[in-house]
Structure 1
Amino acid sequence: MQKAASLPLPPADAQAASDTLTARIGESIDAAGGWIGFDRYMALALYAPGLGYYSGGSAKFGRDARDGSDFITAPELSPFFARTLARQFAPLLAQGLPRLLEFGAGTGRLAADLLLGLEQEGQLPDTYAIVELSGELRARQQDTLARRAPHLAERVTWLDTLPAAFEGVIVGNEVLDAMPVQLYARRGGSWHERGVARAAVPPEGGAPAFRFEDRALAAADVPEALRAIPGEHDLVTETHAEAEGFTRAVGAMLARGAAFFIDYGFPGGEYYHPQRAGGTLMCHYRHHAHPDPFLYPGLQDITAHVNFSGIAHAAVESGLTVAGFASQARFLMNAGITDLLMALDPSDARTFLPQANAVQKLLSEAEMGELFKVIALTRGFDRGLEDSEPLAGFARGDRSHAL
């Protein structure tokens, strides 16, 4: 694991908040008899009220460490990301689905630019709802909308929970990867659940630290996804019960419409490939990626790649149709991102070059283009029956067969 000394130090107030959360996690471990599953640890580190990474006040999203952020997302890179989604969503809204619902709205940049893009497409939604539990993020989203799209801000409402039923278009960008995962280790052919226990307090004192601790599983308790992994080699990997449960909840909620989830990940066959023996768990702090989830609890992002086959199976179980699955690059190109870029004047270098560079990052296999995928889940309409293809983003390069 990467040493804390190789990463930037948090300011004193942030460290104090992390120490408080560390103590609270330690109490949770004690109350559970000295061990908790990694999913419980991850949930506390990310979402403990007022102290977790996503429920606290850290910057999170931004271009570099100088603004106090930890990572950048596609909507922050270029407005053309949202503008392209608007081109995909507009035909759906026109089919009697005039509402939008967003999960994981971050700074609100996607919401603002998506509304502006839909305005240009002549297909504004009647309402744009954001499901957001963090009061700090709600405030940032409201500020972003007031600055970038003040004349459209009144269309946006915030929800604490999923609505009982919804008809319209749903979008979630980098939502699934932030949901807690279970960790498992296979050693000598036997499966163990990898959980978290207290580590010995260092001689110099300080807040309690944590360590991994594996507990053997009976054969009947090994998750089905893991039983299918070929070979007997040692490995560490994840399962995604919470993200799959979330997908089932979306399926129960969506009466008619389409849900689009954009995230980094793989189909199951690639996710559990024998060569991926170390799993996908990763942490982000001040634009440094590292593998230590016990560093600065509450101050760093903890994430895992998405197993899109699990998401697809959960969707089908809840009655949804997997209407498309493609790389982000293929989806954005199909939906017209290059047309949007070419509408700029190439001779205006100050405007054109930064946007061209940002679009390149969205599309490049070496950047976000291949690692990120887009999956569309639908209920209540057939693709391809209208004059304009409802799901043009999957017209070429659809990989649904790989799920």
Structure 2
Amino acid sequence: MQKAVSLPLPPADALAASDSLATLIGETIDAAGGWIGFDRYMSLALYAPGLGYYSGGAAKFGRDVRDGSDFVTAPELSPFFARTLARQFVPLLAQGLPRMLEFGAGTGRLAADLLLALEQEGQLPESYCIVELSGELRARQQDTLTQRAPHLATRVQWLDTLPERFEGIIVGNEVLDAMPVRLFARTGGRWHERGVARSVTGDDSTAAHAFSFEDRLIPAHSVPDALRAMPGDHDIVTETHAESDGFARAVGAMLARGAAFFIDYGFPSGEYYHPQRAGGTLMCHYRHHAHPDPFLYPGLQDITAHVNFSGIAHAAVDAGLAVSGYTSQARFLMNAGITDLLMTLDPSDTRAFLPAANAVQKLLSEAEMGELFKVIALTRGLDESEPLAGFARGDRCHTL
């Protein structure tokens, strides 16, 4: 694949780090006999110690290209995102759930704003844990908490791994989409796994052109069940999600009592594997540009795939959890009261109200984040007489 000419060039030090990661990936391919599955490539590109996108020093999260970031997340768009989540969490904390845990806390903005909102509601958790693998992101999170909520920062602790047992509320915003996926291509009615090999064209000395896709035919009995069930025999490229499904099972094994909320972009399996989605969902983000080339600047760009929420739900149920709600982000936020919170601002103060309203509109609009992003709640041991407010209307569990 060739570099899209519209994308900005990285600085020399970032390019050098990317070249180092490309060397590591190339050595991994050689050691495996010349080919690795795309899930292995994605894992190295995102998480190789000190060099991967999430384990290295890239800015990642921000508002626009000027701050060196690659994409914006809901907590960065508006404090009303966290304040609305807090409204959903308050009655759960009141059921005696003592702790909160966040996966992949980004800049720390969601953690800070959640704690501030819960303090205002008089329902602070005893502790707030963050599972974060990146040392660079831990430092950003600590800085954000110190700046935005200094009196609450001591409640936050960082973990390297999942605790063996947890009672409380779990939240993960845009975590599932960054878990490695396997790629498959059906060509001429036969399934192939799409992996990664060294590139045989272009300038192999640069990280941007060091690798290419290579398909390998797989026997019929090795085709994943999700793909075996796909109708027709048309050509298609798609993904499977063993890692995120395994993560959901791990959460189920860990959660003794409480609720886990995951917010991400994706679909139920019926939409995910629809015949018209012939190109799959793999996408990359670099300097607020979305593009399809995962081999561009390894370690300097995000690589994602949409979430198959049916797989998450089934894995969670297998682990003993209940699926207590699934709906669009827009419906969840409106059910939980985001518009009521917005109207606490004075509409006549246009300098304050209009930017806040525009940001909330991005969270809710079908053309922005409102429909593509979904919210799923997985629970165990909660009082079922108090349904989750965020799913009171428009629950789509029947689609999973």
TM-score of the aligned structures, taking structure 1 as reference length: 0.97
Aligned to 1:54: 54
Is 1:337 the equivalent of 2:334? no
Aligned to 2:191: 191
Is 1:283 the equivalent of 2:280? no
Quote the offset at 1:38 in angstroms. Answer: 0.0
Is 1:305 the equivalent of 2:306? yes
Aligned to 1:67: 67
Aligned to 1:391: 388
What secondary structure does 1:140 align onto?
A: helix
One-letter identity of the residue aligned with 2:301: Q
Is the Cα–Cα contact under 8 Å of residues 237 and 278 in structure 2 kept in the other structure? yes
Whole-Å separation in 2 of the counterparts to 1:203 and 1:151:
53
Whole-Å separation in 1 of the counterparts to 2:10 and 2:83:
36
Q: Which runs of 5+ in 1 are unaligned?
A: none
Aligned to 2:16: 16
Whole-Å separation in 2 of the counterparts to 1:88 and 1:336:
9
One-letter identity of the residue aligned with 1:302: I
Is the Cα–Cα contact under 8 Å of residues 258 and 376 in structure 1 kept in the other structure? yes
Quote the offset at 1:6 in angstroms. Answer: 2.1
Quote the offset at 1:133 in angstroms. Answer: 1.1
What secondary structure does 1:46 align onto?
A: helix
Is the Cα–Cα contact under 8 Å of residues 2 and 291 in structure 1 kept in the other structure? no
Whole-Å separation in 2 of the counterparts to 1:203 and 1:351:
51
Whole-Å separation in 2 of the counterparts to 1:5 and 1:174:
28
Whole-Å separation in 2 of the counterparts to 1:191 and 1:206:
31
Aligned to 1:260: 261
Whole-Å separation in 2 of the counterparts to 1:382 and 1:280:
37
Whole-Å separation in 2 of the counterparts to 1:278 and 1:11:
32
One-letter identity of the residue aligned with 1:179: M
Whole-Å separation in 2 of the counterparts to 1:124 and 1:98:
9
One-letter identity of the residue aligned with 2:198: R
Aligned to 2:218: 217
Quote the offset at 1:5 in angstroms. Answer: 2.2
Aligned to 1:367: 368
Is the Cα–Cα contact under 8 Å of residues 91 and 390 in structure 1 kept in the other structure? no
1:211-236 CA distance string (max 9 Å, x none)? 10011111110000001111110000
Quote the offset at 1:205 in angstroms. Answer: 4.5
What secondary structure does 1:4 align onto?
A: coil
The equivalences for 1:228-239 within 5 A come to 228-239=229-240
Whole-Å separation in 1 of the counterparts to 2:130 and 2:203:
47
Is 1:400 the equivalent of 2:394? no
Whole-Å separation in 1 of the counterparts to 2:336 and 2:6:
42
Is the Cα–Cα contact under 8 Å of residues 83 and 114 in structure 1 kept in the other structure? yes
Whole-Å separation in 2 of the counterparts to 1:12 and 1:19:
10
Quote the offset at 1:4 in angstroms. Answer: 3.4
Distance 1:345 1:199, change over 3 A: same
Is the Cα–Cα contact under 8 Å of residues 185 and 234 in structure 1 kept in the other structure? yes
Aligned to 1:349: 350
Aligned to 1:151: 151
What secondary structure does 2:271 align onto?
A: helix
Whole-Å separation in 2 of the counterparts to 1:378 and 1:350:
41
Aligned to 1:35: 35
Whole-Å separation in 1 of the counterparts to 2:291 and 2:358:
26
Distance 1:204 1:336, change over 3 A: closer
Whole-Å separation in 2 of the counterparts to 1:300 and 1:172:
21
Is the Cα–Cα contact under 8 Å of residues 2 and 290 in structure 1 kept in the other structure? no
Whole-Å separation in 1 of the counterparts to 2:292 and 2:313:
28
Is the Cα–Cα contact under 8 Å of residues 21 and 52 in structure 1 kept in the other structure? yes
Quote the offset at 1:2 in angstroms. Answer: 6.4
1:290-332 CA distance string (max 9 Å, x none)? 0000000000000000000000000000000000000000000
Distance 1:192 1:97, change over 3 A: same
Whole-Å separation in 2 of the counterparts to 1:356 and 1:292:
35
Distance 1:382 1:32, change over 3 A: same
Is the Cα–Cα contact under 8 Å of residues 88 and 390 in structure 1 kept in the other structure? no
Aligned to 1:124: 124
TM-score of the aligned structures, taking structure 2 as reference length: 0.98
Is the Cα–Cα contact under 8 Å of residues 177 and 306 in structure 1 kept in the other structure? yes
Quote the offset at 1:122 in angstroms. Answer: 1.0
Whole-Å separation in 1 of the counterparts to 2:12 and 2:205:
17
Quote the offset at 1:3 in angstroms. Answer: 2.9
Whole-Å separation in 2 of the counterparts to 1:2 and 1:279:
20
Quote the offset at 1:204 in angstroms. Answer: 8.4
Quote the offset at 1:349 in angstroms. Answer: 1.0
Q: Which moved more, 1:135-144 or 1:206-215?
A: 206-215
Distance 1:30 1:396, change over 3 A: same
Distance 1:17 1:102, change over 3 A: same
The equivalences for 1:105-116 within 5 A come to 105-116=105-116
Quote the offset at 1:121 in angstroms. Answer: 1.2
What secondary structure does 2:221 align onto?
A: helix
Quote the offset at 1:172 in angstroms. Answer: 0.1
Whole-Å separation in 2 of the counterparts to 1:292 and 1:204:
16
Whole-Å separation in 2 of the counterparts to 1:321 and 1:402:
15
Aligned CA RMSD, in angstroms, stands at 1.1
What secondary structure does 1:70 align onto?
A: coil
Quote the offset at 1:76 in angstroms. Answer: 0.2
Whole-Å separation in 1 of the counterparts to 2:270 and 2:232:
14
What secondary structure does 1:191 align onto?
A: strand
